[in-house]
C-alpha cells in the first residue's frame, strides 16, 4: 500500500484530547504499522526505545483527525465552473450512483482542508430525490483506492419539502408544496418495490437501482435523510419506522429540537446544519444555530457537525471552528470535540477504526500548537493519516509565504 507507515513513531509531551471526553496532560502517543498502540501519561517507566522516531512537542495539543460528513469535497473543485462539478447526477432516484469512483484525490482544496485538522470526509452526491451512495475517504492517497476508508457507506435521500422557497421582488416567499404527500408516497413505493426485489429468489432482469438498495435492508448501508422543517422531520421519522430502516440518520435537522423526544425514542442520530449561519425563520433567535448543539445535547440527541451550504468543499476547513462556536454557546468543550470526532465516527459507522486516540484504532491524528477549536491557535505542527506523516503545505500557504517574502516579512 502506498500510504503505509514506515517507522514506528512516538509523540511525547502533548496534551492528548482523546475524543471520548478524556484529556491526558503530558501524554505519550505511540503508533506502528498504521495503528495506535500506546496512549498514556508520561512517567519514568515509559520505554522509548521501542520506537524508531520520537517527536517531542511539549505544550502542544493532540487530537484525533476531524471528520466531515455530507460533503462534496473531492467531487467539486470550483463551484462556478460546471466542468469541475461532479456531485450531481442526472435522474431523480439514483441510489446506484457512487461517489467512490468520482472522488478526486488531486483536488487542490484537500491540502487546505487538512491543514486545519480535517483528515476524513464522507464524499456525498447531491441532487434528485435519492442522490446516490456516498463513501468515506482519508484525505491522503494517490487515488481513490488508496484514500478510501469505507466504501458505499450510505444512500442519501432529499426529503420532500413542505414549503417551496423562492425569491419574489427581493424577498424570500414560502408557498405550500401541494405535491408533498405524493412525493413521500413515491419514496414509499420505491422502498417497497426495492425490498420485494431483494427478497425475490428469481430475478429475470437486473435492476441497478434495486441492487444498490440490498445493503440498506440488511443494515450494512445507512440511510441519510436530508430534512429541516419539523413536519418534514416527523414525516421522515414515520417513514423510518414504517419501512423498518435499520440504520437511519437525519441530516440538516434545523427543527431537531422540536422533535427531540422522537429522535431519542427511536435512537436516530443527526448530522446538524452548519453552525455559522443565520436562522431560517425571522422570528427565531439570531444565535439559535450557535446554541442548537448545546440544546440538543441537553435533550440527549446524538449529533455531529458538518459544513453544508455554499462553498461546501472549501468551507470544510472551518469545521473545527463550528465546534468552537458551539462550545462558546453552552456545549462542553470536549463534547464539542466529540461532535467532529468520535460522535461523527459513530454516526458514520467507522468508530472501530477512527474517531478517538485509542489503542487499536488507526493512527489518524494531528498535533496543534494550541486549541484546535480556536481559529487563533489552530496551527498544526504535525499530522498523520494511518500513521504516515502528511505534508501540511497548500497552495494558499505557498502564496502567503511568497508575498510575505516579497515585502521582506517573515512568514509565521
* pLDDT confidence of residue 29: 96
| Domain CATH code at residue 119 | 3.20.20.140
Whether residues 299 and 383 share a domain: the answer is no
Whether residues 35 and 134 share a domain: the answer is no
Whether residues 50 and 124 share a domain: the answer is no
Residues (pLDDT < 70) of the chain are: 1-3, 310
Alpha helices in 300-383 (DSSP H): 319-328, 333-338, 342-348
Alpha helices in 142-254 (DSSP H): 144-147, 180-199, 208-211, 214-218, 230-242
Whether residues 403 and 259 share a domain: the answer is no
Whether residues 83 and 55 share a domain: the answer is no
d(CA 169, CA 72): 32
From 336, 354, 372, the end of a domain falls on 354
User: Domain range holding 90?
Assistant: 66-354
Q: Torsions phi, psi of 241, nearest 5?
A: -70, -45
Whether residues 341 and 396 share a domain: the answer is no
Whether residues 321 and 256 share a domain: the answer is yes
Whether residues 307 and 381 share a domain: the answer is no
Whether residues 152 and 234 share a domain: the answer is yes
212-265: pLDDT as tens digits? 999 999 999 999 999 999 999 999 999 999 999 999 999 999 999 999 999 999
Whether residues 218 and 277 share a domain: the answer is yes
| Domain CATH code at residue 31 | 2.30.40.10
Q: Torsions phi, psi of 46, nearest 5?
A: -70, 120
Whole-model pTM? Answer: 0.94
From 329, 354, 379, the end of a domain falls on 354
From 328, 354, 380, the end of a domain falls on 354
* pLDDT confidence of residue 3: 59
Amino acid at each position: 500500500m502506498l500510504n503505509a507507515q514506515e517507522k514506528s513513531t512516538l509523540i511525547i509531551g502533548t496534551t492528548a484530547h482523546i475524543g471520548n471526553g478524556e484529556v491526558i496532560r503530558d501524554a505519550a502517543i505511540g503508533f506502528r504499522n498504521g495503528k495506535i498502540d500506546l496512549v498514556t501519561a508520561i512517567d519514568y517507566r515509559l520505554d522509548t526505545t521501542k520506537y524508531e522516531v520520537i517527536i517531542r512537542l511539549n505544550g502542544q495539543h493532540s487530537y484525533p483527525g476531524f471528520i466531515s460528513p455530507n460533503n462534496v469535497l473531492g467531487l467539486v473543485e470550483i463551484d462556478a465552473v460546471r466542468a469541475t462539478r461532479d456531485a450531481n447526477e442526472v435522474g431523480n432516484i439514483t441510489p446506484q450512483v457512487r461517489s467512490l469512483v468520482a472522488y478526486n484525490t488531486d483536488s487542490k482544496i484537500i491540502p487546505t482542508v487538512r491543514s486545519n485538522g480535517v483528515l476524513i470526509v464522507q464524499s456525498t452526491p447531491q441532487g434528485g430525490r435519492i442522490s446516490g451512495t456516498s463513501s468515506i475517504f482519508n484525505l491522503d492517497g494517490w487515488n481513490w483506492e488508496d484514500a478510501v476508508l469505507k466504501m458505499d457507506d450510505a444512500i442519501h435521500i432529499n426529503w420532500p419539502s413542505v414549503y417551496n422557497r423562492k425569491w419574489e421582488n427581493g424577498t424570500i416567499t414560502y408557498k405550500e408544496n401541494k405535491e408533498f404527500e405524493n412525493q413521500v408516497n413515491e419514496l414509499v413505493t420505491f422502498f417497497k418495490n426495492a425490498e420485494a426485489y431483494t427478497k425475490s429468489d428469481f430475478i429475470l432482469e437486473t435492476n441497478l437501482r434495486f441492487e444498490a438498495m440490498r445493503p440498506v435492508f440488511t443494515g450494512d448501508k445507512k440511510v441519510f435523510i436530508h430534512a429541516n422543517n419539523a413536519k418534514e422531520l416527523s414525516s421522515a421519522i414515520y417513514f423510518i419506522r414504517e419501512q423498518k430502516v435499520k440504520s437511519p440518520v437525519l441530516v440538516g435537522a434545523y427543527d431537531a429540537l422540536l422533535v427531540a423526544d422522537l429522535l431519542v425514542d427511536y435512537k436516530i442520530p443527526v448530522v446538524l446544519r452548519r453552525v455559522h449561519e443565520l436562522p431560517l425563520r425571522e422570528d427565531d433567535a439570531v444565535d439559535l444555530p450557535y446554541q442548537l448543539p448545546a440544546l440538543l445535547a441537553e435533550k440527549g440527541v446524538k449529533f455531529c457537525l458538518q459544513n453544508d451550504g455554499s462553498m461546501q468543499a472549501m468551507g470544510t476547513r472551518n469545521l473545527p471552528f463550528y465546534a468552537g462556536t458551539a462550545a462558546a454557546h453552552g456545549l462542553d468543550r470536549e463534547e464539542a470535540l466529540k461532535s467532529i470526532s468520535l460522535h461523527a465516527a459513530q454516526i458514520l459507522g467507522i468508530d472501530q477504526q477512527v474517531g478517538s486516540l485509542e489503542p487499536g484504532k488507526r493512527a489518524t491524528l494531528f498535533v496543534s500548537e494550541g486549541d484546535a477549536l480556536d481559529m487563533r491557535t489552530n496551527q498544526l505542527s504535525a499530522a498523520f493519516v494511518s500513521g504516515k506523516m502528511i505534508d501540511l503545505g497548500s497552495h494558499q500557504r505557498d502564496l502567503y509565504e511568497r508575498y510575505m517574502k516579497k515585502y521582506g516579512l517573515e512568514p509565521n
